[in-house]
Amino acid sequence: MKKVVVKSNFHDQKSKKKAMKAVSSITGIDSMLADVDEGKLTIIGNIDPVSVAKKLRAKKLPADIVSVSLVEEEHAEEATKEIDNPPPSQPSEGEKSVEKLKEHISIFLQNNYENRNPFAELHSVEEPLNLCLIS
């Protein structure tokens, strides 16, 4: 197993998607991670680093191989888990306020569900209102 880090020019999500699509066609890839901020593409698997660079250059994306390192099978699984499941981030203030608003709305709707039509009259089926007896 190899860990290949390739530096490319990712300036937006479109170029990132283009690079990921180009490289994903190579057989033997276990996991991939593209970092737009740093412009790096990290690939773990049984792959040839030169073929990765060729695929990127074929799509008119610059590609410089930064590092190639061997990864043991046990460490590869851990590295794959780290790439696939990044650590959870703390919600921002905006996300917290949205969650509070959703909670308040759901409580409001639950409380007002029973009283959704306050003008409706309730009638009992057992005692009809209009009793007409013809004798």
pLDDT beyond 80 at 117:
no
Q: Identity (one letter) of the amino acid at 84?
A: D
Residue 120 lies in a domain: no
Lowest mean pLDDT among 6-10, 48-52, 63-67, 72-76: 72-76
pLDDT beyond 70 at 110:
no
Rg of the chain on CA atoms, in Å: 30
Spatial distance between the Cα atoms of 5 and 72, rounded to a whole number of angstroms? 16
What is the average pLDDT across 5-34? 88
Residue 22 lies in a domain: yes
Domain count, the chain: 1
What is the average pLDDT across 95-110? 75
Residue 33 lies in a domain: yes
Spatial distance between the Cα atoms of 55 and 133, rounded to a whole number of angstroms? 91
Spatial distance between the Cα atoms of 72 and 79, rounded to a whole number of angstroms? 10
What is the average pLDDT across 125-133? 57
pLDDT beyond 80 at 114:
no
Q: For the chain, where are the alpha helices, taking DSSP H only?
A: 13-24, 49-58, 73-84, 93-112
What is the average pLDDT across 14-39? 88
Residue 134 lies in a domain: no
Q: Are 56 and 22 in contact (CB under 8 A)?
A: yes
Which residues constitute the domain of residue 29?
2-84
Give the confidence band of 66 by pLDDT, cuts at 50, 70, 90.
Answer: very high
Residue 89 lies in a domain: no
Per-residue pLDDT, 76: 58
CB neighbour class for 2 (10 Å; exposed up to 12, middle 13-18, buried from 19)? middle
Kindly report the CATH number assigned to the domain that includes residue 74: 3.30.70.100
